[in-house]
Structure 1
């Protein structure tokens, strides 16, 4: 881990205790995935999704536009295009880090070469402002995603270097980051601005860690600290430009929400923000950067803001699936408890952002609620965004559908497909962390995990039957002989369990720490085993009554999985289904979905008598046997109806 010198907090920020980093995510190369649930899915991403996304990028013309040689049929460059290429490179690099693939490496090298040739002599690199809007660089930061694209390029450069040891892309992005550092800042002649779509901030932290260069950390701090200050930068930018920006050009006559300060999380300096507002992806990327900076600079004021924002988000604006963002209009938040099911936007990228933020909060504030949220979002709101075949994607993720909803091969704004690929190819860093003489298991994930202790490296093999079961086993396969700690999260969904350490059994409740983890310290020998057995039960959930759309409705979970009813299993008119409150549940194989387990429950169906829009005859309820499937698996057997929230039999 690279250490950096402290960067001071804003002068007007209230004093807070310094931040203590308890652990850091393990690198991709330290985790060899071997998991019955996740390994097949990651393999689909490696074998199908990554090559498929490269074909889509080539079909649309991203790299040809970068090279300055578009085909006549290519679409004009989009402001987002560089981020699509960058996320694809990051996903491919993550894959190469653990699975050599000569063909994929050649494809990545080819893309890197195109980027290097397209870079301007001063370090600037952006397809749209080179090919479509030359001479307008850094004039439309509010709308045109210039620094957002730069951030994803920087993340790609860091990942590519970590995977391959090559500096070809890292050198490119360092030159670009150095240019950004010259252009932006509070100094004489600098542009005192920041990006409309947050991303470069967290990318610069990654670059600082990879290179050991403090200037990138200081630049990230500047962008975070400057946000929301007066005079308001985007007003001044609009006045200088004399036009209404990219949104004004492409959404003529519409009052696009991108003009509002809340949409951009720029309504107040970040340390004064109390609610998660605006565009959900932008928000989670900003909060991720704030948590990163809290960790790397020791700034307690940023951590305090993150905790405050997290508490608000978790209490009022998060879907039961871990999805974020209720409105299609602003791709984000509206008001507290506004969580419609059928009209839910819940963008896949927003759920990915929540996973990213959760991981970072665990670094500086270990508490199982962050890992519980990360797990819930990962298994539900994120995984639903990818089809079983790895080549179809959801952009938004409703919690109810009247039919006709299906995943798509690609989008004009294709942020979600490569984003989910880069996340799933880096799962190890979300599941496992390295503390001081400690391995932390945040997520139950089968893998061989290598980490450092004061006495030398150690390796632990982790096996699990999650998410279907509650058993996780750790076996020490390499130990230097000194003391180290094994810390395992006990999820909030577990209703009890036992821990066995080298044959000795304990009740989990007796060993559980206040952070929700069991921590065991000893001089572990090769062959030592820890087994965590948790009770995995079907649970029914009722929403806060202020979530008015779900009144008299119930949702079902089992372990980390949220379940949904589909038309293919239960017939049409799912709105008429009713779930019994206390009937036992049976775990069954889902027809047509190999290796997917559903839940069969007793319930009923409302049958409507008479005809016409309004009837004088009352409906009646008849018994029904209901089959629910994991939410992530819906829409893989047709585009029929789906519902997460079902009628409560007692209402």
Structure 2
């Protein structure tokens, strides 16, 4: 097996950023051990996982029944991937030994033909590959493949990589257009991007071609989901919304039409972004203009018409899905953490394919807001759903809020989000830069030491700063010999007046290219210094008039951070607060759990409701209610719900 380290970019990017080092330390010291306990069912009062025991049963090491979701294996795979990134950043022989034991367990559970899946090995061995629409075999395979690639790149150990290559080889024999092969494709995309990562490490074109098969077969007539449904005798696995609903609703899994014929983001949000990340990756490798056009079209729809200000997507709970354009309710928002993680992966692949600040702006928005909101500051509690407005009193009584939790949970029966968070945060170095055509595109402002490969030789960039709290970023160039290259610095869409100097000499920062970056083309010398300032005063954000849920409301953003108001600071009945948008927005230093963070103060008026309980429900020909001037405290959205249960709002009524 031929391997190279194309995929191992994270091994030569060292994070030095205080903000992200804190999170990576949290992942290493708290989240990974905590999730290991969860996978082994040793956390009191938490949803059971049984994921490790499922593998032990499949490997013949213990007796028992399969337990959990049909995709329970994927939690173990994502945990292993997170461990790989952690080991790359912080070597830990004890953790590596635990991971090696898990990998050995997976190897023992693998069937002689390469197949790995505990549900179908333990519970339904005769049903393998009979229901790819509903049953997540290829989804679980994809996550295991990604873990195998990451673990090899982090440790250079090939045990898990050998396992997943053997599994991928088996899948390549089962699916395809040759006689006797299945013309199917996954109901839940994931394997598409996994196979592309496997191809980049092994350079085995069978894997990229298999990814291409899955992508191009999707949506073709006659629908494979219908074919296998009839072949099974019209049985279905999921009955949530009626018999065979997932099979009948092709939009749900983006199988209603070939991907190049789709123009609107539809269906299950996580499936959509996982699929599009794979399509963008394939388009880059195959130089496919048709797929690039499809990616651009669908990107524009999802980010311009179906994305929340927090970078979250998937507004409705039924199907964890998109609704229609401009339908973005705040209190019933589903906005799964995994969907924003997938959006970041899609954005990153677009940046590798078609560098443009628009992709990085969205990536940054999703990362600093929804994704970080998915994990508590203690690293042991998580959000699956990320609403933009919470009124806890109603949640217990109104079924439309059944999916909304006012506080983070210890674990979930469907626990896809916690390990997904861990693997993304652990690999954040992979998202900072894009290198294309001898140009270094700076996508994220995260202090780091990064060695990047250019046509004239290697360049190391030392990026320093205290982003997202402070607006100055410094780059120092390190190299053995002078190098001709283009360093492109992203100007975020929230920044109006960037300032730039090179070796203490001013540079025309207003010369922003059409791709949204300031391009600096020159012969770089060792120790050249760039200083970039991105003024980040608090700003008011107003909605598009078609966003009916947000009319006459404003949101407040500073830098990449969206802010919110919480009951803990502003009392109950947040709906009775009216922000005075003409007043000054003041930045203050936080304390306690907000130490080191910037909070915002704003002037507002509170509608008096002291005697409301004694008043009629509706008053006729009455005067406007009295109001009292007050001061609002706003905190970063990602930090909400770390002080107990209470009301929260991102969009605030405007005076």
Which TM class, normalised by the smaller chain length?
over 0.9
CA shift in 2, pair 1:578/1:543, >3 Å: same
Match of 2:77 in 1: 86
User: How much does 1:266 deviate?
Assistant: 0.5
Specify which of 118, 126, 147 is matched with residue 135 of structure 1.
126
Relative to structure 1, is the Cα distance of residues 542 and 174 closer, same or farther in structure 2, using a 3 angstrom cutoff? same
Q: Which one of the candidate residues 375, 391, 403 is aligned to 1:402?
A: 391
Preserved contact between residue 238 and residue 246 of structure 2 (Cα < 8 Å): no
Q: Distance in 1 between matches of 2:389 and 2:532?
A: 35
Residue 229 of structure 1 deviates from its aligned partner by: 0.6
How far apart are residue 49 of structure 1 and its match? 0.4
Q: C-alpha displacement at 1:457, in angstroms?
A: 2.1
Name the CA distance, whole Å, in 2 between partners of 1:257 and 1:399. 28
Does the residue aligned with 2:588 lie in a helix, a strand or coil? strand
Rounded to whole Å, the distance in 2 between the matches of 1:634 and 1:252 is 33
CA shift for structure 1 position 243: 4.1
Say whether the 8 Å CA contact 2:238–2:244 is kept in structure 1. Answer: no
Structure 2 gap ranges (5+): 42-48, 393-404
Change (3 A) 1:591 1:401: farther
- Residue 226 of structure 1: aligned partner: 217
> In the TM superposition, what is the alpha-carbon distance from 1:479 to its structure 2 partner?
3.6
Post-superposition shift, 1:77?
Answer: 4.2
1:628 aligns to 2:617 (yes or no): no
Secondary structure of the corresponding residue to residue 523 of structure 1: strand
CA distance in 2, matches of 1:371, 1:89: 27
1:63 is displaced (CA, Å) by 1.8
Tell me if the contact between 1:455 and 1:480 (Cα under 8 Å) persists in the aligned partners.
no
Q: Call closer, same or farther: CA 1:600–1:479 in 2, change over 3 Å.
A: farther
Name the CA distance, whole Å, in 2 between partners of 1:3 and 1:646.
Answer: 53
The yes-or-no answer on 1:341 pairing with 2:330 is yes
Alpha-carbon distance, 1:456 to partner: 2.8
The residue correspondences of 1:515-594 to structure 2 (distance < 5 A) are: 515-593=515-593, 594=595
1:300 maps to which of 286, 289, 294 = 289
The correspondence for 1:641, drawn from 641, 647, 650, is: 647
Bigger mean CA offset, 448-457 vs 28-37:
448-457
How far apart, in 1, do the equivalents of 2:483 and 2:319 lie? Answer: 54
Match of residue 53, structure 1, among 6, 16, 35? 35
* Partner Cα distance (2:100, 2:3) in 1: 30
Whole-angstrom distance in 2 between the partners of 1:600 and 1:342? 24
Report deviation, 1:268: 0.4
| TM-score (norm. length: structure 1) | 0.93
Q: Deviations over 1:36-84 (max 9, x none)?
A: 2111111101110011111111113212211216878987243111110
Q: Deviations over 1:577-625 (max 9, x none)?
A: 1111121111113343222211111111111355232235441222110
SS for the counterpart of 2:53 is helix
Greater relative contact order (Cα < 8 A, sep 6+): 1
Matches within 5 A, 1:129-528: 129-248=120-239, 251=240, 256=245, 259-403=248-392, 405-510=406-511, 512-528=512-528
User: 2:617 maps to which residue?
Assistant: 613
Where in structure 1 do 4 or more consecutive aligned residues deviate above 4 Å?
69-75, 252-258
Distance (Å, rounded) in 2 between the aligned partners of 1:255 and 1:268: 19
CA distance in 1, matches of 2:521, 2:508: 17
Is contact 1:279–1:331 with CA below 8 Å preserved after alignment? Answer: yes
**CA-to-partner distance for each residue in 1:173-205, whole Å, 9 max, x for gaps?**
001101111110111111110000000111000
Q: Does the residue aligned with 1:263 lie in a helix, a strand or coil?
A: helix
- 1:437·1:485 contact (CA, 8 Å) conserved in 2? yes
When structure 1 is superposed on structure 2, of 279-288 and 36-45 the one drifting more is 36-45
Q: Deviations over 1:270-314 (max 9, x none)?
A: 110010000000000111111001100011100000111111112
For the residue of structure 1 that corresponds to 2:318, the secondary structure is: coil
What is the number of equivalent residue pairs in this alignment? 626
Alignment partners' CA distance in 2, 1:355 and 1:503: 34
Unaligned 5+ segments in structure 1 are 5-23
Distance 1:576 1:126, change over 3 A: same
RMSD of equivalent CA atoms: 1.9
SS for the counterpart of 2:464 is strand
Q: State whether residues 257 and 329 of structure 1, in contact with CA within 8 Å, keep that contact through their aligned partners in structure 2.
A: no
Q: 1:566 to 1:258 in 2, by over 3 A?
A: farther
Q: Structure 1: how far apart are the matches of 2:25 and 2:434? A: 23
Alpha-carbon distance in 1 for matches of 2:383, 2:61: 28
Shift of 1:438: 3.5
Map of 1:30 onto structure 2? 12
Identify the residue that residue 401 of structure 2 maps to in structure 1: none
- TM-score, L = length of structure 2: 0.93
